[in-house]
């Protein structure tokens, strides 16, 4: 079965612009989590959605937002981009919310690499 699909894979923006990233989870998975990955900080949790509801949010400014649609696809948006937003944004899907517990394995997409100039 198809894995987690993230689009676009690469994008370049300038400071002050906004960006929308998309994530299509594995078929049947209803939970989607987003992470920001940078070389020095590793993976930082952004937010988690289940059944179109945000269940958990990380410690990021309000410029970072997301949503989930009825087909479980999710989007995240970053407004007023800053240089420090340059990162690999990873999406992970799982059957259930609440992180990786027992058989509820997280499957990651390949990520969207955002460069802010």
Q: Which residues bind other proteins (CB under 8 A)?
A: 4, 35, 40-45, 56, 90, 92, 98-101, 105-106, 108-111
Determine the Cα–Cα distance for residues 88 and 103; give it in Å rounded to an integer.
Answer: 26
Q: Which residues contact 71 (CB under 8 A, 6 or more apart)?
A: none
What is the nearest approach in angstroms of other proteins to the Cβ of residue 42? 4
Determine the Cα–Cα distance for residues 47 and 102; give it in Å rounded to an integer.
Answer: 21
What is the nearest approach in angstroms of other proteins to the Cβ of residue 30? 16
Our CB check for other proteins shows the closer of 17 and 101 to be 101
What is the nearest approach in angstroms of other proteins to the Cβ of residue 94? 10
Joined together, the tokens standing for residue 104 give 């509820």
Q: Distance between alpha carbon 80 and the CA centroid of its chain, in Å?
A: 18
Our CB check for other proteins shows the closer of 3 and 61 to be 3
């Amino acid at each position: 079965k198809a894995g987690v699909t993230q689009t676009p894979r690469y994008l370049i923006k300038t400071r002050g612009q906004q960006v929308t990233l998309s994530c299509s989870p594995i078929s049947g998975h209803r939970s989607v989590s987003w992470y920001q990955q940078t070389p020095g900080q590793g993976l930082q949790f952004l937010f988690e959605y289940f059944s179109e509801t945000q269940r958990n949010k990380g410690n990021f400014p309000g410029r970072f937002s997301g949503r989930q649609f009825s087909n479980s696809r999710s989007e995240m948006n970053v407004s007023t981009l800053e240089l420090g937003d340059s990162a690999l944004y990873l999406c992970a899907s799982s059957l259930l919310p609440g992180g990786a517990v027992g058989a509820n394995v997280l499957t990651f997409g390949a990520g969207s690499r955002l460069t802010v100039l």
